[in-house]
Structure 1
Amino acid sequence: MLSAESAAVVRATLPVVGEALDTITTRFYETMFADRPELLDGLFNRGNQRSGEQRRALAGSIAGFAAALLEHPDERPDALLARIAHKHAAVGITEDQYVIVHKYLFGAIAEVLGDAVTPGVAAAWDEVYWLMAGALIAMEARIYAEAGARDGRTWRPWRVADRREETADVMSLVLAPVGDEPVQPALPGQYVSVRVRMPDGVRQLRQYTISGFGEGGQRRITVKRVRGEGAPDGEVSNLLHATARPGDELTLSAPFGDVALGDGDRPLVLASAGIGCTPITAMLQHLALTADRRRVLLLHADRSAAHHALRRDMEELADALPGADRVFWYEHGPGGRAGRIDLTGVDVPENAVAYLCGPLEFMRDARERLIGAGVAPRDLHYEVFGPDLWLPAA
């Protein structure tokens, strides 16, 4: 994929470029938003910009892609690319925006690295960028086509049919489609983007997993109120908690996401922590609705039973499956096993496929424990809320 001449240059310069990527991506976003402030309206997440998560995710994806090209020159890192492509499709990224990103990214590289960016170095990294961009553009075109969308236009209005308070900081919204256009099917585990206008007039997008399905194309999202705890509160989650009521309309994208429950007859391990229960609950509902008879091991960890959103749904759905067992862990109070996830005494089925969702610390720990219990690394699938800071090292 990468020419031999460029591969030699990238291999020689990757340590220097990699070390400077955080500074490069910081400068990239600063200059791009200074010149193109409209990109912050309905495209980029201001919260992730402030926290630096988007910058670190971009740096990690570039370094990860370049390293993959060098380590496996005849293979394309589709796992990395698919995750990014679905995130891009969920916010409506279009082909022309890759040209904008290229302009400001390479301007930042030249500014940060200075004379080290010779014409040969610039040409080699330019080849890396367009190999990555070209692969993403092609993937995103297929994803848009499957969603029945053109040019990133996947949006439609939905009406809030019901609101349910799950915990003190988590609520669910049941949404019904507005209009007669057919509803794009969603797979269990996928997410949608919700687009809202903030009090300052700027539109912001956030992704929320579909946590349940209903009649007439209804779908449910479950939203955790993000409390900053020293940082700014989550602006979209807090706005939805404060204002979303039955009868209101919200703008949603088509469903996206590359981590969805697969068909088959192999045993399943569904492991979650905190608000990571949302895709797992959707998977459980699908298994119950299809009368699936697979062996299912449901694992969930939380601060306490009172903090466990969708607990009733998870219990009822798991109990409806003839081959399901469930184990809950709580750090505080009764209702489950004490402490954090620990597979001691847990019968993990052989030849299982596992789906994980939760904080990165939990998923790293759960992944290690499940591999130790015999689950093959290739059979571990995970979903990350927000920019994927795990993938390059996973």
Structure 2
Amino acid sequence: MIPRALFTVPTPPHPVRLRFHTTQGSLKATGGRIHTIDVSSPGELASWAREQGTVAGAISFDGRTAALSVVHEMHRHGDPLLEAGSGWNGFPRVVGTPEETPTSAGYRGRVEKALSVFERGELDKIVLARKLRLRFETTVPAEYLYQALVEAHPEARTYAVSPAEGQWLVGASPELLVSRQGRTVTSHPLAGSVPRSPDPVEDENRGRRLLTSEKDLREHSYVVEMIADTLSPYCRRLAVADRSALVGTRTVWHLGTWIEGELRDQDTTALELAAALQPTPALAGAPVASAVHTLEELEPFARGYYGGCIGWCDDNGDGEWTVAIRCASVRGPVVDLYAGAGIVAGSDPAAELTETTAKLSTLADVLLASELEVEVAPDGARSA
């Protein structure tokens, strides 16, 4: 008989639930099953997480649902880029025609409807999104898409998170929703943007015009004010930068403003702050409640975790949550890309469509790198 002490059953490794990369380093978290939680209040969600220890995952766009895993191991500054000879030969080929929801014409029409809502005084801002569905010959490996985005956008907050078994949300976001280190709270909201130009002179001019654009500065102010107002009750001190500054990705110029505060209560966690902020006017509109209600009428798809936030919170309450934009939902061979634009009075439907196209290219350029420069034409047809 084999002594019981010598008979052991191998424990299967815990799956990776979150990968995260910034200019400060990388993080990889493995964890148990994914808990889908109805969020009744930020405080109750934080209390549940505090009992579990370190958690990682995502909060949905509307802030009503969280998908969190209890972290078993968290590796920081590891998870290096793929090396040559890893066996990676590029993404599979796209099959069929990319599906736009709504179509380009439909998106412009929805922007026009939003402008009519502004005329009635019901909204100040709304963020209208587009979805582009790509079907590939075989499964798209989320971990390789993540690594490709790190290589293509080293300045971004790149992430891959699993909000459900068999699903990944992968993206390269420029926007920090909130971080908490000890009593220090930081947020860097972005709103107001313009596509970049390949011509250096025109690119610089676009950035300068953005800094003085009344329309974009107004759009930006709604987001900064909401985040400052939400964080203020949690903080004994809160400082908002005097003016916004340019934040550049490879495809888009943004207006960004730094906000930093000191917590009143050491027990307030990063997860509680993230849940309290969700959703912001940067992804919904202003006023937020009215914008979310209007989006349910205007947008022909459910956002899910797009426009929400992804991140982690450790057992000390420290953590970091990033706005889930410039992202794709990956389910096997089906990949849905998302991008939105902030609409305010005076917005031009054609310009907003162009902005979303530039944002979609963050993921599309990486996924379609081996294709013949496939892009979505204005009428929704596939062109090369």
TM-score by length of 1: 0.23
Question: By percentage of residues, which structure has more helix?
Answer: 1
With the length of structure 2 as denominator, give the TM-score of the two structures.
0.23
